[in-house]
């Protein structure tokens, strides 16, 4: 029988952890997870999936970090992987496109976001909106029963069922270019809100909404009503483009409400601003109704639990908290 407990932190652990990643994090926003290894977390999880962004054409064929990510996802029995854009590059020596079209697991279980790099690869430029949708055509998204592909061929609503749970994936087109408001159209925002509103959310539903974005955070591009719709029902809100993993904070009015975990997914191959290369591993524990999110360090030669500053817990229909594993890793 699975045994997994969230327990209160001792005062010593709280103090040392707070000093490591922030001096302002409230004690009530930290959760201790009584798990000490990735193998234990994998064994206790009901299912798992992965998130990544901005690999810029690199594949497991030609990049060590991508090879590690591919291997580690298999070891942790990841059910599917969501990409947040800029997965292709025009250089001929990068093989990600050929890899995902030839590898049966990736072809069936990869949900990419169309961004500026995809537009440039298939179209005239990064600002050639929707041209990157050719990738989804190659992956036969139009004919897949679990995916509703929009007429622009770059946005879709996918439904993935895993172990009695339904994961809703709403993917929007918000590339870096063009450098004006048309990059994230009102039509895309309506598609998002209409799709979210159409979902009758139960304790067995997980809603994920993703867009690449221009500056790494796209919530501020929504009006009040759109933002409220997203905040009230989404569990994960994802972005890319900065190549830097971080969790975004919301206005104080959301501090005591159920909110989604809002993160930038970093980059497995081209990390910036002093960050390490990585991807996001999501492990779901049904008994606790919680999603554990870690930014996995791909610069390490061995897979290990993420540090305290890169681990979060999202309780379904509840709050988001920082997480510290049984043996805290604070560096």
Would you say residue 302 lies in a domain? yes
Query: CA 130, CA 110: separation in Å to the nearest integer?
Result: 19
CATH of the domain at 203: 3.60.21.10
Length of the chain: 331
Average pLDDT over residues 58-68: 96
In this prediction, residue 256 carries a pLDDT of: 58
Task: Find out whether 307 and 296 touch, Cβ atoms under 8 Å.
Answer: no
Q: 9 or 128: which carries more pLDDT confidence?
A: 128
**Within 10 Å of residue 192's Cβ, how many Cβ atoms?**
22
Question: What sign for the dihedral angle of Cα 108, 113, 117, 122?
Answer: positive
Tens of pLDDT, residues 194-204: 999 999 999 99
Query: CA 169, CA 236: separation in Å to the nearest integer?
Result: 10
pLDDT band at 93 (very low <50, low <70, confident <90, very high): low
- Domain boundaries, position 110: 6-325
pLDDT surpasses 90 at 74:
yes
Task: Find out whether 207 and 238 touch, Cβ atoms under 8 Å.
Answer: no
Task: Find out whether 308 and 330 touch, Cβ atoms under 8 Å.
Answer: yes
Would you say residue 1 lies in a domain? no
Tens of pLDDT, residues 103-127: 999 999 999 999 999 999 999 999 9
Would you say residue 330 lies in a domain? no
pLDDT band at 30 (very low <50, low <70, confident <90, very high): confident
Beta bridge partners of 295: 280
Would you say residue 143 lies in a domain? yes
pLDDT surpasses 70 at 75:
yes
Would you say residue 290 lies in a domain? yes
pLDDT surpasses 90 at 306:
yes
Rounded to two decimals, what is the model's pTM? 0.89
Domains in the chain, number: 1
Tens of pLDDT, residues 131-186: 999 999 999 999 999 999 999 999 999 999 999 999 999 999 999 999 888 999 99
pLDDT band at 252 (very low <50, low <70, confident <90, very high): low
In this prediction, residue 249 carries a pLDDT of: 76
Query: CA 209, CA 51: separation in Å to the nearest integer?
Result: 12
Query: CA 181, CA 218: separation in Å to the nearest integer?
Result: 12
pLDDT surpasses 60 at 329:
no
Q: Percentage of the chain surpassing pLDDT 70?
A: 87
In this prediction, residue 300 carries a pLDDT of: 97
Would you say residue 134 lies in a domain? yes
Mean of pLDDT over the chain: 89
CA proximity to 4, closest of 27, 30, 25, 31: 31
Would you say residue 331 lies in a domain? no
Q: 259 or 47: which carries more pLDDT confidence?
A: 47
In this prediction, residue 23 carries a pLDDT of: 36
Would you say residue 291 lies in a domain? yes
Average pLDDT over residues 34-54: 96
Q: Percentage of the chain surpassing pLDDT 90?
A: 80
- Cα dist. 139→25, 112, 136, 172, 265 in Å? 43, 10, 5, 17, 23
Query: CA 106, CA 135: separation in Å to the nearest integer?
Result: 13
């Amino acid at each position: 029988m699975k045994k997994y407990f969230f327990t209160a932190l001792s005062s010593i652990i709280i103090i040392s952890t707070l000093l490591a990643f922030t001096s302002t994090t409230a004690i009530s926003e930290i959760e201790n997870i009584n798990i000490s290894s990735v193998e234990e977390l994998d064994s206790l999880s009901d299912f798992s999936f992965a998130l990544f962004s901005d690999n810029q054409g690199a594949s497991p064929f030609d990049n060590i970090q991508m090879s590690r990510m591919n291997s580690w996802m298999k070891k942790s029995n990841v059910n599917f992987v969501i990409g947040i854009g800029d997965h292709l590059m025009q250089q001929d020596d990068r093989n990600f496109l050929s890899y995902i079209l030839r590898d049966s697991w990736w072809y069936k279980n990869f949900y990419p976001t169309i961004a500026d790099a995809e537009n440039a690869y298939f179209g005239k430029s990064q600002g050639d909106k929707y041209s990157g949708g050719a990738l989804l055509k190659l992956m036969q998204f139009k004919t897949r029963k679990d995916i509703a592909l929009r007429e622009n061929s770059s946005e879709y609503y996918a439904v993935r069922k895993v172990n009695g749970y339904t994961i809703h994936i709403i993917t929007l087109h918000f590339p870096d270019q063009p450098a004006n408001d048309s990059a994230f159209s009102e039509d895309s925002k309506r598609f998002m809100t209409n799709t979210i509103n159409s979902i009758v959310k139960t304790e067995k539903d997980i809603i994920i909404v993703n867009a690449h974005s221009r500056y790494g955070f796209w919530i501020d591009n929504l009006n009040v009503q759109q933002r409220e719709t997203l905040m009230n029902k989404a569990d994960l809100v994802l972005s890319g483009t900065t190549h830097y993993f971080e969790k975004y904070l919301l206005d104080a009015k959301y501090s005591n409400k159920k909110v989604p975990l809002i993160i930038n997914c970093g980059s497995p191959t081209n990390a910036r601003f002093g960050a390490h290369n990585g991807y996001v591993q999501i492990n779901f524990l049904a008994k606790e109704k919680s999603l554990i999110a870690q930014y996995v360090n791909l610069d390490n030669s061995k897979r290990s639990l993420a540090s305290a500053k890169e681990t979060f817990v999202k309780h379904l229909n509840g709050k988001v908290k920082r997480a510290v594993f049984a043996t805290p890793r604070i560096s």
